[in-house]
Chains A and B, each alone.
Chain A
Amino acid sequence: MLEESERAIFEVPIGPQHPALKEPILLLFKIEGDTIVDVMARPAYTHRGVEKATEARNYIQNIYLCERVCGICSCIHTLVYTQGVEKLADVEPPPRAKYIRVIMSELERIHSHTLWLGVAAHELGFDTLFYYVWRDRELVMDLLELISGNRVNYAMSTVGGVRRDISDAVAHQIKKGMEILRKRLDVYTEVVEKEPTLRKRVIDVGKLSPHDAVALCAVGPTLRMTGVKRDVRADDPYQAYDEIPFNVATYDTGDVLAQIIVRVVETYEAANIIDYAIDHMPSGPIKVKVPWNIAPNEIITRGEAPRGELFYYFKSNGTEKPERVKIRTPTLGNIPAVCEMLKGYHIAEIPIVFAGIDPCLSCTARFAFIDERKGKSWVWSGDQLRTYRRKYYKRYGR
């Protein structure tokens, strides 16, 4: 072992723009040889000032603003937001709306976890699995589109209930979809349990001890993969979760394998929750009226997003606009933990360990073109994209 002064420590910046990262973040590594000694993160290259913007809009406009905080967990953002406004105004949403919200947020959890599994497989260089998982993810995306008409921002929750009902025919489709999904999940479980090329890359990589996970305030699957059985749905039940039986998925090794297993088991659980919720969904109205102006009050509200705990703090001032809305997304809570997880591992393991917490730094999904020579930029609509796709596959596809 060399003396402190003789050890050569290099600083290696990765990001904000880097092929290995899906979203802009600056990770500043201190490296000794090939081993990571220390990490510093600067996550906010896409800070958009949403909290400031909420203060200038009324409670209804803010639903659509908060939905756009995240593209992948857009449903849970509106759910927690509207749940907060309902608590502020002291209004109880009808029981059927609560069940519909649960079904939507669990469908979203499935879509998010399968998306993550695909990305993780891709980071491991296992692109076959990536393509298979994302093909099966389309199943859930189609169901979400069937219910809400949208693939990304579902606009389901509104203050006082939900905007669309789930009919019996759609419920039947969802149940059929869950059956197919379970069969596909069996295949992936087998892959994770038996495929040696995958297991060698993930066992004992990016380890986190339960003690550190709790001390660094990790949330969601990143906490549960260390064996700490904590889930807002079970600990602080919201909506209809206190009426639905489910298991909190945990695993005790605290490495990337545990992350994969926890998320796969959670996907199974989500499918079970959806089945149960559809079978036990009460009938009745889906929306109640909420006053436009809300009396001065303050509350906190929490929900379990696919990545972990989502937290909102609200303060109202008697007008139709909130005084203060504070949003804490789960990824910010997991950044200290992932910095700890990276320490002591090699540069080659950065992508998978970092992808392991399922980071969601910004969420923009726009198809924009910029023509530098002509100095023009334009945006394609969904229909234009679809036409382009049809033309492309007619020409080149099979």
Chain B
Amino acid sequence: MVELEETVEKLKAGIGADNVLEVKYQPPRNVFVLVKTEKLKDAVSCVMKELGYQYIITISGVDLIKQNQFEVIYHLSDYSNTISLKVRIPRDNPKVPTITDIIPGATLYEREVHDMFGIVAEGHPNLTKLLLADGWPDDLHPLRKDVTVKQIRERLEEERKKGVRGI
């Protein structure tokens, strides 16, 4: 815990304390840190390069439909402690900068979040479908809260009738 508190202090010093909007500890070895979207890349490179973290576990997307926002969480780890960096982006223009130039292992996770929520990682080398079928409609993002299972079924049936293959 003490180690993690020090790490958060260093992160605050690295990107500026007023760019860190919220810090929430989850004992014993995790912390959620909300940062400003424009400071995301600085925060990731600070954690990875200066604080000695090596590994991204995954990227989680959360649909905060009441606030009309998406939350994107980057779970960075030094294998023992985890810093979960959060950003909040508007729901009608969901864009985050890519972090694949800092962490090559994040490629698939950015594609997954793009598939499921339609969150675009700007600058990603190959932001094509990963988990959804080839013929899946581009504007249907299944994990969004306003998309129900029934809607997905009906939409896919419609697409099949139109002659789209591979769904």
Contacts and interface: CB of A to CB of B under 8 A. Distances in A.
A65 interface: no
B55 A214 contact: yes
Interface string A190-222: 000000000000000000000000111110000
A375 to B, nearest CB: 21
B104 A215 contact: yes
A44 B111 CA distance: 12
Interface stretch (A92-100, A126-134, A324-332): A324-332
Contact of B75 (A230, A235, A236, A311): A311
A24 to B, nearest CB: 12
A51 B143 contact: yes
Interface string B74-101: 0100011110100000000000000000
A300 B62 CA distance: 13
Contacts of A326: 58, 60-61
A49 interface: yes
B26 A217 contact: no
B26 to A, nearest CB: 5
Given A300-B84, A315-B62, A336 B104 contact: yes
Nearest to A230: B79
A224 to B, nearest CB: 11
A215 B105 CA distance: 6
B104 A216 contact: yes
Contacts of A43: 130-131
A335 interface: yes
B30 interface: yes
B110 to A, nearest CB: 12
Contacts of B68: none
Interface in A233-266: 235-236
Interface of B: 26, 29-30, 32, 54-58, 60-63, 73, 75, 79-82, 84, 103-108, 112, 116, 130-132, 142-143, 149
Interface of A: 42-44, 47, 49, 51-52, 56, 87, 214-218, 230, 232, 235-236, 298-300, 302, 309, 311, 313, 315, 323-324, 326, 328, 332-333, 335-336
Given A216-B104, A324-B62, 10 more contacts: A49-B142, A214-B54, A230-B79, A298-B32, A300-B30, A300-B57, A300-B84, A315-B62, A323-B62, A326-B60
21 contacts: A47-B131, A47-B132, A49-B142, A51-B116, A56-B149, A215-B105, A217-B56, A217-B57, A218-B105, A236-B82, A298-B32, A300-B57, A300-B82, A302-B82, A313-B60, A313-B73, A326-B58, A326-B60, A328-B58, A332-B58, A333-B57
